Amino acid sequence: MEINVFKLCSGLRVLGYFMILLVAAIIGVSYYAVVVLTCGPQLLRGGFHSFLSFFIIIIFHILLILLLWSYFRVVFKDPGSVPENWRAVSAEENLEVGGSLAAADDGFERRPRGGYYCLHCQNGKPPRCHHCSVCQRCVLKMDHHCIWVVNCVGACNYKFFLLFLLYTFLETTMDTIVLLPSFINFFGEAKNHSSTPANLAIIFVAFGKLSTKWILYLDAVLNLAFALSLLCFLVMHASLLSSNTTSVEVHEKKGAVRWKYDLGRKKNFEQVFGTKKSLWFFPLFSEDDLDKIPALRGLDFPTRSDVEA
């Protein structure tokens, strides 16, 4: 009996729906720990403590709105689908419609579309397109399939994914800093009653059963773990963004003397975030950028003029 690996991979989508509930639960616990238990009571004290708590609550909600906005955009935005019966355009066809292989005004070469053929989708594959075994379809400029968003990350939602990582990192870092004093105070008090790790653990468990404050300590640990892991992801994707590379292209890039899609850091950034600076930190694109930057739609990509396609 043959096992269909692609059918098994598609089962990961079920896990993805559980991850969405997990994200909602983590956000709910963090909201309760930071806003309700920690900052809320401080608002009644007056003076500097009230001002600081009010400031923290405002920043918390701003980051939360941006985080959720970016998250839902990644979840519900099509990462990029290959048009039905898509095929590569030959050099002759490109010249017939007035195309040119000459360098454009910005110094980067516009080459005719090349591609391959996907046996699973029975359709052409544009450049940088890959078949996702979880989604069971080809995705334009696919980076990876993310179970946290039950969706692929591709040409059309990569910016939203990066913003989701950024705002989640900032939110979890802020939560960790806010909850850190309570976390330290608990272990300071516990240490005065016991010096052995075993007794300390017993006190922690017993205290958690007797008070809702255990949420503060649990949430502090969770946020610290997420902040550290997200920092690693941010550094990795910042490196990929600066070289105009996707996660699945890393191996291919290692074998190239010059990466053909590397147009320089500024151009590479604009290939993902667009040129409109006022929208860089929001999960949105301007119509002008969508019209002028083909890479945002995932079908055509400018390449370096000094590298053979």
Residues 209-238: tens digit of each pLDDT: 445 667 788 888 899 999 999 999 999 999
Compute the distance between CA of residue 122 and CA of residue 82 in angstroms, rounded to an integer. 11
- Kindly report the number of other CB atoms within 10 A of residue 189's CB atom: 11
Phi-psi map region of 129: left, alpha, beta (phi>0 left; psi -120 to 50 alpha) = beta
Which two tokens mark 38? 């920690």
pLDDT at 102: 42
Q: What is the pLDDT of residue 301?
A: 92
Q: Is 146 a catalytic residue?
A: yes
Q: What is the pTM of this model?
A: 0.84
| pLDDT recorded at residue 95 | 43
- The token duo for 19 is 């991850």
- Residue 96 confidence (pLDDT): 47
- Alpha-carbon span 303 to 187, nearest angstrom: 57
**pLDDT under 50 in the chain at which residues?**
1-2, 6, 91-105, 107-113, 209-210
Task: Provide the angle, in degrees to the nearest 10, between the axes of the packed helices 158-193 and 265-273.
Answer: 90
Q: What per-residue confidence (pLDDT) applies to 216?
A: 82
140 and 80 Cβ atoms separated by less than 8 Å = yes
Query: In the prediction, which pLDDT does 305 show?
Result: 82
pLDDT of residue 100: 42
- Taking residue 112's Cβ as centre, other Cβ atoms within 10 Å add up to 17
CB–CB of 226/173 below 8 Å? Answer: no
Catalytic residue among 146, 152, 156, 232: 146
